[in-house]
């Protein structure tokens, strides 16, 4: 459950840093330092450079954020592989 004082934003991962930290660029061009939430750690969700993520930010410190969700890419549907007879 999200806290009342958090700001939910979406951004794109620019760089992967050591210690599960990431540089994420917001749509307005602002770059923040983000870490992954416990649920993403628990379920071994991998985040790479170029991924789109949803984050929670505190209104008191807009330089840091917590990544709460990795948005899936909308890939083109490809046909099923041919069946062997």
Q: Is the pLDDT of residue 6 over 60?
A: yes
Query: Is position 78 within any domain?
Result: no
Number of domains present in the structure of the chain: 1
Query: pLDDT per residue over 30-85, tens digit each?
Result: 999 999 999 999 999 999 999 999 999 999 999 999 999 999 887 656 677 788 87
Q: Is residue 80 part of a domain?
A: no
pTM of structure: 0.80
Q: Which domain holds residue 37?
A: 7-71
What CATH number is attached to the domain comprising 14?
2.40.50.140
* pLDDT score recorded for residue 25: 97
| Residue 14 placed within a domain | yes
DSSP string, the chain: ---TT-EEEEEEEEEEETTTEEEEEETTS-EEEEEE-HHHHHTT----TT-EEEEEEETTEEEEEEEEEEEPP-PPP-PPPPPP-
């Amino acid at each position: 459950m999200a806290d009342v004082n958090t700001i939910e934003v979406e951004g794109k991962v620019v760089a992967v840093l050591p210690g599960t930290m990431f540089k994420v660029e917001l749509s307005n061009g602002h770059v923040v330092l983000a870490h992954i939430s416990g649920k993403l750690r628990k379920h071994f969700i991998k985040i790479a450079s170029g991924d789109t993520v949803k984050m929670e930010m505190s209104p008191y410190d807009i330089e840091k954020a917590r990544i709460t969700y990795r948005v899936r890419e909308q890939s083109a549907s490809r046909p099923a592989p041919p069946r062997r007879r």
